[in-house]
Structure 1
Amino acid sequence: MTGPPASHHTENQSPPIWHTLTDTQVGQTLQTSAAGLRTAEASRRLDEYGPNRLAPPKRRGPLMRLLLQFHNILLYIILGSSIVSAILGHWVDAAVLLVAVVINAVIGFIQEGKAEAAIDAIRAMLAPLAFVIRDGQRHEIAAADLVPGDVVALASGDRVPADLRLTSVKELRVEEAALTGESLPVEKNVAPVAEDAPLGDRFDMAYSGTLVVYGQATGIVVATGSATELGRINEMLSSIEGLSTPLVRQIDRFGRGLAVAILLLSAVVFVAGILWRGHSAADMFMMAVALAASAIPEGLPAIMTVTLALGVQRMARRHAIVRRLPAVETLGSVTVICSDKTGTLTRNEMTVQRMVCAGHVFDVGGVGYAPVGDFSIDGHVVDPMHCAPLAMALRTGVLCNDANMRNDDGMWHVEGDPTEGALLVAGAKAGLEHQNPESSWHRLDSIPFESEHRFMATYHHDADHAPWILVKGAPERILDMCARQWNLDGERPLDVDYWRRMATDTAAQGLRLLALACKRAAPAGDKLAFSDVETGYTMLALVGIIDPPREEAIRAVNECHHAGIRVKMITGDHVETARAIGAQLAIGVGKPALTGSEVALMDDAALRRVAMEVDVFARASPEHKLRLVRALQDGGQVVSMTGDGVNDAPALKRADVGVAMGLKGTEAAKEASDVVLADDNFASIAHAVREGRAVYDNLKKFILFMLPTNGGEALIVIAAILFDLPLPVTPAQVLWINMVTSSTLGLALAFEPAEDGIMAKPPRPVGETLLSGFFVWRVTMVSILMMAGALSLFLWELSDGTSLETARTMAVNAVVAAEMFYLLNSRHTLKTVLNREGLFGNPYVLLAIAACVPLQLAYTHLPLMQAVFDSTDLSALEWCKVIGAGLLVFCVAELEKILIRRKPAGKRLAAD
């Protein structure tokens, strides 16, 4: 059987399915042998196939990336404001607005550069060196020089340098969590597996970028560079385009519509003034400019950035580090959270949860590696040391063990196999110290675990110098070695059916099984031999081990469900384990779990239907995760994906919000994500969703506050044109009002705390517009009130013989006063603010008003400001009239809230 390597097959040839072939067939296909390739042939293949590295993706140059940051409707609007300000001669305002545009562009430029680092992080996972056999000799070469057909030697601690078909193994265990999501190191062998075996079940393969944690092996290189599984993920990641966030899409639609409306309105006013009222083109141009200046919400981009930045700070305090600013709000609009299992919903710390011993089932409390927890039967706490069989089982688990525990600054860690670590922790919970539970129990010899024997044995002397041989291993193997079992009333003949039933019951709960046994005997010689350990044991216990769910994750999932957010588990782990963990987290209860193999058989339409119905997906590959995220998005969902492995990176990048684990996550996952959890805790996602919703609420409150200011000013200008009145406010005065209200007053709403019940509401509908019918009504009502107050005051003063400058000064102050009072109204959309919390709950609102008052006093009474803006001094009576105009808005807005709250619940909810 011959053919080209998988990494470089021709267009019309299908690549060999390496995991289905014997090692002999692989050697024949790649024309290699145990002596490896000849050096000349390796050089020829290197020229033909290229180096074993991931090619860097094509990228836009830095200049083009920077220029594209300016292609944003928000920046166009603010640039328009800057141009209007410059036309009016307000160079300082124009410069400030221009600087805001540049800052936004620079921030976007930096963020895009960080996102591209995801692909660099994957390339960094490749091993730098490899031990290869060429010309029958062992050499250490650069991993980049490996070619298909090379024979590579692996040892504990090595990073696998290419995709290998294993040809010989000796106790090889490979950590593949970053690639497959498997929570435990995978034990490898050389036997071929079925063609449809998922990546995590291809036990005869070792994949590039994974880590050898135990044993030795040799294997033939079957794929290098971009043809490896790691390379395929890299290509997927390179091909995924980043998505725009819901907020950016909403603001974009809102900005475009507003810009068109402003331009049309200004043009209509300009033409109407000339043709209808007979004004000169120059005068009407200044009026149109005044209208445009009054209507453009130049404060929106700045307030959005500030609100998002404040959300970033609040999320950071909740251990969620935001890498892309819009992701703050996007989290608040999430409808589905797809979460990896290992390390996210679970602790990634194997834990003994169940021990079947002496005819009883003992539940073991506590999670993770901290040696804290009780032993109980049916909820009743027991002392394990008062139960001889259980005490001996725990002692066996501790002694027949090669792992170590350590405490670093209060954090417990396990060195070695996670399953053995779980046994150490269980023993420590019972008071047995690691390696030496009693001073006389020294290990005298041992037989290490080997896959063909499926057990480990150790030889000890107890306190009375009696010999003991202790074993642990696969339940079916240990049962074959036992003749008796240790009950509470002593040793009895082995009840094989009972232990098999209990093993089936324990495995059905998603727990990994180990069996423990012992015999009071010494080896025939000085050292343990297989003939000493294969028979004559007393069965002690079955141990059920699992990577348990985080307790806080259980609460967080429940909170998400109450918030109308679906939580789905997508993991590379076994389906039974995934289903068991899902049940403990209330994910997918009563529903089927789907495997990656089943997902692969579905077309996109079928997957879209199933994706929302099923909540637990197991044995999922990177492609499966990516397809699931896309299917949910195609179904109109806003998707957050969480993960920690390189296998999660494509889905993290594709999701609306990618969330990576900061402690145990790979660099590839972090760089592909929008948010990094500093504590690897799913509960932090729920906190971040709450903050994201608060951010969106605050942005809506700001828009509800800002638009009436622009609307009121625009109505004043329109009314002056329609009724042939002198302009109540000049273009320069309009800019002053906008600067004061946006820079001081509106900014305070960014600091609003989340309202009560924010997580009791469902996610906002996908495609929701910023301006709902209720919002249009509120903006129109308040705009008319502001216009009525300012225009009435202006006309009143003119009719009393007051100068035009004084009347305009009062009109300007009336608009700003109305904004001050309306700021208080805006703290709650429907709730009244006529209480202590409403008036004093946000100190930044009071500070903003306190900052605005002296600005208006300076505008009115400072000679320099009078010279710039044509303002005049006001008397005490005139100031009272100004305050009265502001109070009109406040009182009517609160009355409107009362009327809305009296509506039926459905209409009230629609208004909210």
Structure 2
Amino acid sequence: QNYTQQELIDIFQDAENFDYQIKLNELMENLKTSVEYGNENVEELRKYFGKNEKRKEAIQFSKIFQEIFIQMIIVILSIANVVLLHSGYFDLILQILILIHHFYQQVQLITNKNKIKLQNEKFVNVFRYGEKQMIQESEIVVGDIIFLEAGDSVVVDGLMIESEDLTVDESAITGEVVNIVKSPENPKLHAGTNVVDGVGKQLVLVVGKQNEWNLEPNDDNQQIDKYQKFLNIYTDASQKLATLLMIIIGVKNYNTFWQKHSLSTLVRFSYVALIIIEQLPSFIKSVYTIKKHQFLKQALKQNCLVRNFQALNEMEKITDICTEKTGVMTQNSLRVQLALIGSNQHSAATITQISDLQKELLCIVGANCTTASLEKGKVIGNQMDGSILLLITDLGYNCDQLRKDSINSIVERIPFNSQRKMNSVIVDSQKLQFKHFKPAKRFLVLSIGVASADLKCNYQFDDNKLTEFDFKKCNDFIDIEAENGLRFKFFAIKELNELPNNIENAENDMVFLCQLGIGDPIREGVAEAIARNNDQQITTRIITGDNMDQTVAVARQVGILPPQPTKFELQQATITGQDFKLKSDVQITQMLPELKCMARFSPQDKLRFVQLLQRANKVVAVVGDGTGDAPALKTANIGVSLGIQSTQIAKEASDVILIDDSFCSMALLLQRGKQQNKNLQEQIQFALERVLVLLFGCFIMIIKTGKSDFSAIQLMYCNFLLSMVNSFADYSTKSGKQQLIGFLVSICYQVVVGFVIEQTQLFNFVLLASLIRLLTKFSLKNVLMVVGTTITHLIIIEKMLNRGEQAIFEVFAQQVGVYLMNYFLLIVVLSLVTGYLNRRKSHKAKQE
């Protein structure tokens, strides 16, 4: 090969400065690649330029060593252990083993991150040896030609070689939310960008680690920002606190500091400090991992795929939800909801009760005047026509069979146009078989029109007989039901002896059959979900490209707007995209508290609206489905895409994917996310309280008695129990063959955590008992008999019940907690009173 990888990188970076066509031909000739046959030199190019491997995080042993070993508390502890070498090597060996174990865990963490990166590979279409092939991105080589279309991601750096309006979102590279149309003047296609429109082909120039930009999965270090900040502050403060307490102990025992007993006590206190500083962050991260795994599984059961766990930190602060209407709040399936048949009004449930004659005429007209089709109950084509076909099926007819029976009888078709707003078919009634209708003339005109068409009807079928057409009732039906967001289609027929010279005159003086009200039904539970959001002070807003009438109708039905809003309320709560563009940011910001319905909004309008909400200190979740929604999804605090109707770009820009496209799933996710955050905070609070009690308890005992009641074995035992949680965190993320193990581990985790809680509480009771012994001169054994056997079991029950997710136990758990607190206070008060009385009695005895 004439080019090196670095030379190809230089060509890519300076592509705008070359004569595009000449340089492109030179490159393709050199790489033995052509537009006609694609890459015909795959193995040689892979061997020369290398594989398309993702960048791995290097394991920097020196950095890990520095982070773990070069810390103030570790240095002090090491010095203390070296000083005590004359009394044995056990303490020093124990410290070294703990630190080596931590060092190993950090190395394994980096190794696992690199494995995760390899699991997120995309598939691409390439042109090789004259054939189109689908391969994994790791199999891409320099010289490959990749097919690109709207929704695809660009996975490697290269040049555009063909383009039909190929438009790329380069916001991930430039930070600017402006889509770029690729041309010979700007042919560079960067890895990490997304195709938003058009089609094209890309010549691969750079593979592997040399790509300018690479999408990498989020890791836990990025996703734990909120808790990592706390851990950093805690670690720094606890190091300083522990060091200060050790200095105080050293000063107090200054005269006997170099004695074996004093140094041993200081070392044991150092061990307690080490456990607190080292094990609490590890414990919190472990609980975080377990909670994350549980949350992801629960979210998946609720049809929510969480792509970015960082979104969990934002869920408890959400103030506004900006959501699409179609498919999210509605079922995205148009159905006939109401019908005016003759002079009688029917709902979707009662429409099947009409006469056989009315059924037959409605179904024959519907089958012949629509263009959609049904495949296994799914509508293919126009959704409005599809709703009519679904009604025909509900009435017991087969639309395909009706069309087949009518095909030879069709004489003339009068297609739909914007002036007539009707679609008509003229059939020869003598060639069409009827079961219930008896035609009196040779030709029959079948017509379907929209509600706004001029209804040229004189009569109507009413209970199987002709009556005068009630034009007012038909219009009133439309005016009333249009407020519910329904669209209307009317059905009519007419008999003719002969065809008119002007075929469109056949649509005059017709017989009205029915008026169908067609709408997209509201999803079950949406209104209740929005009501829950309102209770939590979360504002739900509809932001859509649909028209305002449909938007307001849905908002009224789900509770975003009142059922019967006044004209003033509608003016305050609604705005169209055209008016939105004309208003300044200041004007829109003043309107934000009242705005609920935004219709005819473009993607740029959605982005601007989200940015204005955020400037007003709102935390925003955006639900979007289109390629153009990607900027708003990225900008929002939580971006939510739709699993069914969203484009690939929208999904990649989002933090959460609603698998079933339902707003109810979104509301449940928010509720679950808030509860999960609450649980995490309670876990951290619990762990922090317990370790601080250990630290100060040990410190107080050393100051009062000159020795610690915690032996090396006890400290190692505590360290072992806390470390076990790390193992459960690792096993909880297994899948596949490990599902059974994961299930067993989940059970064991609850048992062990309960046991850890019990043991930690027992340490508190030992401390309390020690203090009581000092104040009252009671026997430690007697105190433990009273405290240990009663309180410990109550603690286990209280902690196992109070998991935060089982509301049925919450009241009982709270009552147990209050009882325990009162019991503690009672013990302390009695201890103080008894100690005071004993000392007073002793003082009187001395005086006597």
**How would you bin the TM-score normalised by the shorter chain?**
0.5 to 0.7
Q: CA RMSD in A?
A: 5.9
**Residue aligned with 2:326, SS:** helix
- Which of 457, 463, 485 aligns to 1:510? It is 485
Q: What is residue 401 of structure 1 aligned with on the other side?
A: 370
Distance 1:62 1:709, change over 3 A: farther
| 8 Å contact from structure 2 (residues 57, 114) kept in 1 | yes
**2-side partners of 1:359 and 1:577: how far apart?**
26
Unmatched runs of 5 consecutive residues or more in structure 2: 1-18, 26-52, 79-90, 126-136, 138-145, 153-158, 169-179, 199-212, 733-756, 827-848
**Shift in Å at residue 302 of structure 1?**
0.5
**Shift in Å at residue 414 of structure 1?**
0.8
**2-side partners of 1:598 and 1:231: how far apart?**
27
| 8 Å contact from structure 1 (residues 399, 443) kept in 2 | no
| 8 Å contact from structure 1 (residues 818, 890) kept in 2 | no
Deviations 1:511-533 (A, max 9, x none): 233332221137739xx984464
| 8 Å contact from structure 2 (residues 334, 520) kept in 1 | yes
**2-side partners of 1:107 and 1:662: how far apart?**
29
**Residue aligned with 2:409, SS:** strand
Distance 1:274 1:596, change over 3 A: same
| 8 Å contact from structure 2 (residues 801, 809) kept in 1 | no
| 8 Å contact from structure 2 (residues 694, 764) kept in 1 | no
Alignment of 1:486 onto 2:486: no
- Once the two structures are superposed, the pairs formed by residues 725-804 of structure 1 within 5 Å of their partners are 725-730=706-711, 733-741=714-722, 743=724, 785-786=764-765, 788-789=767-768, 791-792=770-771
2:386 partner letter: G
**2-side partners of 1:274 and 1:662: how far apart?**
63
Alignment of 1:521 onto 2:473: no
| 8 Å contact from structure 2 (residues 235, 277) kept in 1 | no
Q: What is residue 683 of structure 2 aligned with on the other side?
A: 702
**2-side partners of 1:423 and 1:143: how far apart?**
46
**Shift in Å at residue 674 of structure 1?**
2.4
Deviations 1:229-256 (A, max 9, x none): 9369xxxx999x9999999454234323
**Shift in Å at residue 820 of structure 1?**
7.4
Distance 1:653 1:358, change over 3 A: same
**Shift in Å at residue 714 of structure 1?**
0.4
**Residue aligned with 1:309, SS:** helix
Unmatched runs of 5 consecutive residues or more in structure 1: 1-40, 48-60, 129-141, 149-160, 164-206, 210-220, 366-372, 376-381, 752-777, 842-887, 899-912
**2-side partners of 1:793 and 1:208: how far apart?**
79
**Shift in Å at residue 661 of structure 1?**
2.1
1:420 partner letter: D
- Once the two structures are superposed, the pairs formed by residues 827-866 of structure 1 within 5 Å of their partners are 827=800
**1-side partners of 2:818 and 2:194: how far apart?**
66
Q: What is residue 644 of structure 1 aligned with on the other side?
A: 625
Distance 1:597 1:452, change over 3 A: closer
- Once the two structures are superposed, the pairs formed by residues 587-598 of structure 1 within 5 Å of their partners are 587-589=560-562, 590=565, 591=570, 592-598=573-579
- Once the two structures are superposed, the pairs formed by residues 802-813 of structure 1 within 5 Å of their partners are none
Distance 1:739 1:660, change over 3 A: farther
Distance 1:443 1:676, change over 3 A: farther
**Shift in Å at residue 643 of structure 1?**
2.9
Q: What is residue 230 of structure 1 aligned with on the other side?
A: 196
Alignment of 1:628 onto 2:609: yes
Q: What is residue 32 of structure 1 aligned with on the other side?
A: none
**Residue aligned with 1:613, SS:** coil
**2-side partners of 1:117 and 1:569: how far apart?**
33
Deviations 1:516-575 (A, max 9, x none): 2221137739xx984464534333333332222112333333343344433222211111
1:468 partner letter: L
**1-side partners of 2:335 and 2:385: how far apart?**
10
2:389 partner letter: L
Q: What is residue 448 of structure 2 aligned with on the other side?
A: 472
Q: What is residue 820 of structure 2 aligned with on the other side?
A: 892
**2-side partners of 1:653 and 1:111: how far apart?**
23
**Residue aligned with 2:693, SS:** helix
Deviations 1:196-247 (A, max 9, x none): xxxxxxxxxxx999xxxxxxxxxxx9x9999999369xxxx999x9999999
Distance 1:98 1:530, change over 3 A: farther
Q: What is residue 329 of structure 2 aligned with on the other side?
A: 345
Q: What is residue 126 of structure 1 aligned with on the other side?
A: 150
**1-side partners of 2:253 and 2:345: how far apart?**
94
**Residue aligned with 2:525, SS:** helix
Q: What is residue 675 of structure 1 aligned with on the other side?
A: 656
Deviations 1:674-710 (A, max 9, x none): 2223322222223323332332233233224322321
2:235 partner letter: A
| 8 Å contact from structure 2 (residues 321, 622) kept in 1 | yes
Question: Rg larger in 1 or in 2?
Answer: 2
Distance 1:310 1:889, change over 3 A: closer
1:519 partner letter: K
Distance 1:447 1:564, change over 3 A: same
| 8 Å contact from structure 2 (residues 283, 725) kept in 1 | no
Distance 1:311 1:533, change over 3 A: same
**Bigger relative contact order (CA 8 A; separation at least 6):** 1
Distance 1:231 1:694, change over 3 A: same
**Shift in Å at residue 629 of structure 1?**
3.1
**Shift in Å at residue 422 of structure 1?**
0.7
Distance 1:330 1:396, change over 3 A: same
Q: What is residue 613 of structure 1 aligned with on the other side?
A: 594
Q: What is residue 306 of structure 2 aligned with on the other side?
A: 322
Distance 1:422 1:254, change over 3 A: same
Distance 1:449 1:823, change over 3 A: farther
Distance 1:569 1:476, change over 3 A: closer
**1-side partners of 2:599 and 2:69: how far apart?**
48
**2-side partners of 1:797 and 1:895: how far apart?**
18
**2-side partners of 1:626 and 1:524: how far apart?**
57
Distance 1:428 1:323, change over 3 A: same
2:641 partner letter: A
**1-side partners of 2:513 and 2:398: how far apart?**
20
- Which of 424, 427, 431 aligns to 1:457? It is 424
> How much identity, in percent, do the aligned residues show?
18
- Which of 289, 297, 308 aligns to 1:313? It is 297
| 8 Å contact from structure 1 (residues 78, 301) kept in 2 | no
Distance 1:422 1:666, change over 3 A: same
| 8 Å contact from structure 2 (residues 150, 197) kept in 1 | no
- Which of 403, 408, 422 aligns to 2:387? It is 422
Deviations 1:138-157 (A, max 9, x none): xxxx9963478xxxxxxxxx
2:369 partner letter: C
**2-side partners of 1:567 and 1:327: how far apart?**
18
**2-side partners of 1:822 and 1:78: how far apart?**
39
2:233 partner letter: G
| 8 Å contact from structure 1 (residues 427, 433) kept in 2 | yes
Q: What is residue 13 of structure 2 aligned with on the other side?
A: none
| 8 Å contact from structure 1 (residues 745, 823) kept in 2 | no
**Which range moves more in the overlay, 660-669 or 570-579?**
660-669
**Residue aligned with 1:726, SS:** coil
Distance 1:260 1:314, change over 3 A: same
Q: What is residue 273 of structure 1 aligned with on the other side?
A: 249
**Shift in Å at residue 62 of structure 1?**
5.6
1:424 partner letter: L
**1-side partners of 2:665 and 2:353: how far apart?**
36
**2-side partners of 1:287 and 1:467: how far apart?**
104
Q: What is residue 431 of structure 1 aligned with on the other side?
A: 396
Q: What is residue 154 of structure 1 aligned with on the other side?
A: none
**Residue aligned with 2:708, SS:** coil
TM-score (structure 1 length as normaliser)? 0.59
Q: What is residue 635 of structure 2 aligned with on the other side?
A: 654
Alignment of 1:301 onto 2:301: no
Report the number of matched residues.
Answer: 659
**Shift in Å at residue 577 of structure 1?**
0.6
**Shift in Å at residue 722 of structure 1?**
3.0
Q: What is residue 538 of structure 2 aligned with on the other side?
A: 565
Q: What is residue 413 of structure 2 aligned with on the other side?
A: 447
Alignment of 1:548 onto 2:521: yes
**Shift in Å at residue 823 of structure 1?**
4.6
**2-side partners of 1:317 and 1:519: how far apart?**
54
Q: What is residue 287 of structure 1 aligned with on the other side?
A: 269
**1-side partners of 2:160 and 2:633: how far apart?**
28
**Residue aligned with 2:321, SS:** strand
